[in-house]
Amino acid sequence: MAIAIRKASEIQSIAAASKIVAKTLNHLKAQLKPGITLKEIDDMGEKFIRSCGGKPSFKGLYGFSGSVCTSVNEVIIHGVPNEYTLKEGDIVGLDIGVEFNGWFGDAAITCGIGNISEEDERLIACSKDALYFAISQIKAGMHFKELSGLLEDFILDYGYVPLLGFCGHGIGRKPHEAPEIPNYLEGKKAKQGDKIKEGMVFCIEPMICQKEGQPKILEDQWSVVSSDGMRGSHYEHTVAVINGKAEILSKE
C-alpha cells in the first residue's frame, strides 16, 4: 500500500484530531491516583473525547471493548480497561485514538501512580526519551528503516530491548495506515525500502521491555507482555513531515 502524502489542510485536520488526544491524555493523567479503576479511567476518557467533539477511535476497533488502552505494570500495550484498581507504585500506559471530522490522531504516555521505584522511573524515561530522540532525527529523504535502526540502538544503549512484532504506523483517514515502523531494524540493511517524504504523517511509538523483546498475549486476547514477565513502558506521538523535519501534532 502506498504511503499517503498529505496536503497542508489535511495535516491540519489530523492535527485537530491529535490535539484532542493530547488534551485527553493530559486530563486523564491529572486524575491518576491510587484507588481509581481502569474502567473509571476509560469512562472518563470517552466522556472527555466526546465533549471535545471527537469519537474514541479504539472503541470497537478490531473488537476492542474500551476507548483507552490501559496497560498496567507488565502489560506493555493494548491493556483492556477493567475493574483493576490502581495501587501506589503501579505504572500505567494510556494509549488513545480519536476520530474528528473523519481524520484520526493517536498518542500514548506511561505514568507512575504515587511514588514509584527509580527502576520504573528509568524504564518510563527510556520510552519517552527514545520517542523524542527519534522525532529529532527524522528528516525527509531518510529511509524508515534507518529510523527503526536508530530507535533500536537508542533503546539498547539505554539498557533495554524493544518489543518485537509491534510497530508504529501511518495515520490519517484510518487509524492505522502504511507504513509499519518497527522500533528495531529488520534485516541488516537500513538504507533500503520506503523513504520519509514531505507531507507524510505517522506515529512513532517506542515499546520497551527489560530483558526479552518476545511478546506474549494474555488470555484477554489483547494485553501484550514480554516473555521476561517484567514491567514495560510505551510512549507515542503523531508527527507530520513539514519543511523536511518532523513536527509533533499530538500536543496541546
Residue ranges at the known binding site for a divalent metal cation: 95, 106, 169, 205, 236
CA distance 169 to 204: 7
Contacts of 239 by beta carbon, 8 Å cutoff, 6+ apart: 135, 138, 201, 202, 203, 204, 246, 247, 248, 249, 250
Residues in the chain, overall count: 252
Which residues define the annotated binding site for substrate? 78, 176
**Cα 107 to chain center, whole Å?**
5
* Cβ–Cβ < 8 Å for 185, 149: yes
Q: Which helix (H) or strand (E) holds 118?
A: helix 118-137
Which residues define the annotated binding site? 78, 95, 106, 169, 176, 205, 236
